[in-house]
Structure 1
Amino acid sequence: MQKNNIIIVLIFLALLIFALLLYKSQDLKKAYKSKVEEDLSHGIEFETTLVSENDVNHLPLPVQRYLNYVGVIGKEKVYNFRITFTGQMKIDPKKDWLKINTEQYNFMDNLTRMFYIQAKMYRIPILGLDSYKQSKGNMLIKLGGVFTVADASGPEMDIGEQVTLLNDMCLWVPATLIDPRIQWESIDSLTAKAIFNDKGRKVSAILFFNPDGALTNFVTEDRYMTIVKTYQKAQWSTPIKDYKEVNGSKLPTYGEGIWHLPEGDYCYAKFNLEKIDYNIKAIKP
């Protein structure tokens, strides 16, 4: 009889621990949604101002062709946006690919980026929140949504996340390239340099275009690859392709993230664009 009581108590404790872990596993997603809702609640009132030829005629010619190619002229200016991706990621060059689902919200007025990622390793959920807010970057990854396996911050992350925000703008929301915080330099008929200024801190990238006007690659020297608790500065590129009509614009629907290391290229991410929404006033379910 006493043995049965002990078994019942152990089962009860196991169920209680499981319930607590399940509850705690939602903390990261709740934090993500809370931060997005905060930015939405403090957002600016959207003006129905359209992107005009006058907005783009100061840009280098390949950038002007790009904006015409994707069809942003005559469309609304973008103040915030939401993107969802499916794809694959590698946490190490020697590891297998993990299937991922991501959602992100970006806000242009205060330069905020909230990127929420879900994956599984050996059936265990891996949740991550990649963020850039108030000029500070952070990468938080939790196993099962409970146990922290990475919490990267500091000057290297600040710079890297600023570059990633610029990357979002160039690849997925080209209407934002008229932002005055981007300084442009002409290189040649198919290449231009973007210098992105956030409160005096500048990052840059080289944009490569094809003769039709499509952006094909974004290359920067300003990102740091995270290795355990250290950082390694390396060239980073995001080649893109498969342009299709998405929410009124012609956008690339496939892209990769590649580190160019001394020992060889390391493709760590493959993204498929699923959906994009502009000028959102309430968080999507």
Structure 2
Amino acid sequence: MWIQWMAIISVLIIVSLGIAAIYGSYRWQIGTDNLRAQLTNGRREIQPKIYEQKEISGEPAPVQRFFQTVLKDKQSIVSAVKLFQQGEFNLNEMKDKWNPFTATQLFVAQRLGFDWDARIQIAPLLNAFVHDTYLLGEGNLHASLLGLFTLAKMHDTPELNQGELLRFLAEAVWYPTALLPSQGVVWEAINDTSARGTLTDGATTVSLVFQFNAEGVISTIRAEARYRDKLTAMPWVGRFGEYSIQNGMLIPLYGEVGWEHPEGLRLYFKGKITEINYEFAL
């Protein structure tokens, strides 16, 4: 008899989890729609609407090679991007414990912002829902179990705003017209294979060192200090690969990101773009 009761209880638990997952996903999607409506409503007109090579004539040599490699003259400027990702996320601070994830992400070039909406599987039928957002100059991080129970929530602190703007600048490799000087990025020479890009939005200014490989594309990015929390800032590193032509632009489909500890780089994200759709200013 007890075996039958255990079976009934197991079924009830599975059904309850399924109902909670459906309701949580529905509730979470409402929040996603609201965030993305704010992103869209905050958009501004982009100028100029096309890229011309004369724009980069005074930039550092590796930066010029980069734009000549990834863009064609008269390329329309990207105004918005929606992409789909899948990959693995390491949720453990001390050891490798990779969990699969899927995500959608919306970028808006002006006024610049993004929303990353992810599902990280932490166990069968059990997902962590994550919003990582930069909206109207403010960062937002919200993690929730099943979309119902808050695990972490941060909003609009100087440290978080800096981290989210750094993410926007790093991921501009997927929409490379956003890295143009006309779109607000200031480039500074370092050497023949690297340059520093600086971006300001409102009260927040961030810089990344971009390393370019022999083909002229971005292989790595590095921030000297990105805040992990309000007290701890560490070097932050991203690596890119699997370059592919998308809408006439050469972009990486694979990326991985981690924190640089004294003992070496510790990755926490490995992801690949499975689909990417652009809107253009012209």
The two structures have a TM-score, normalised by structure 2, of 0.85
In structure 2, the CA distance between the partners of 1:46 and 1:221, relative to structure 1 (3 Å rule), is closer
Q: Secondary structure at the match of 2:77?
A: coil
Pick from 125, 134, 139 the counterpart of residue 132 of structure 1: 134
Pick from 210, 215, 221 the counterpart of residue 213 of structure 2: 210
For 2:254 and 2:29, how far apart are their aligned partners in 1? 26
- The list of structure 1 runs, each at least 4 consecutive aligned residues, that deviate by more than 6 angstroms after superposition, is 14-18
Match for residue 98 of structure 1? Answer: 99
Contact residue 48 and residue 76 of structure 1 kept, 8 A = no
Structure 2 residues not aligned, in runs of 5+: 1-10
Match for residue 187 of structure 1? Answer: 190
In structure 2, the CA distance between the partners of 1:203 and 1:24, relative to structure 1 (3 Å rule), is same
Contact residue 167 and residue 218 of structure 1 kept, 8 A = yes
Percent identity for Structure 1 against Structure 2: 23
1:51 aligned partner, one-letter code: Y
Over the aligned positions, Cα root-mean-square deviation in angstroms equals 2.6
Structure 1 residues not aligned, in runs of 5+: 1-10
Q: Deviations over 1:215-234 (max 9, x none)?
A: 110000231224xxx54211
Q: Deviations over 1:118-152 (max 9, x none)?
A: 12111201110001112111110111111111112
Q: Secondary structure at the match of 2:228?
A: strand
Contact residue 103 and residue 119 of structure 2 kept, 8 A = yes
Q: Secondary structure at the match of 1:241?
A: strand
Pick from 160, 168, 177 the counterpart of residue 163 of structure 2: 160
Corresponding position: 1:116 with 2:117? yes
In structure 2, the CA distance between the partners of 1:162 and 1:222, relative to structure 1 (3 Å rule), is farther
For 2:236 and 2:266, how far apart are their aligned partners in 1? 10
Q: Deviations over 1:20-64 (max 9, x none)?
A: 663244222221122213433554467893211122223222111
For 2:127 and 2:189, how far apart are their aligned partners in 1? 45
- Residue 280 of structure 1 deviates from its aligned partner by 7.0
- Residue 79 of structure 1 deviates from its aligned partner by 1.5
Contact residue 24 and residue 146 of structure 2 kept, 8 A = no
Q: Secondary structure at the match of 1:141?
A: strand
Q: Secondary structure at the match of 1:239?
A: strand
Q: Deviations over 1:186-235 (max 9, x none)?
A: 11111100111112421101000012211110000231224xxx542110
Q: Secondary structure at the match of 1:145?
A: coil
The two structures have a TM-score, normalised by structure 1, of 0.84
For 2:123 and 2:16, how far apart are their aligned partners in 1? 23
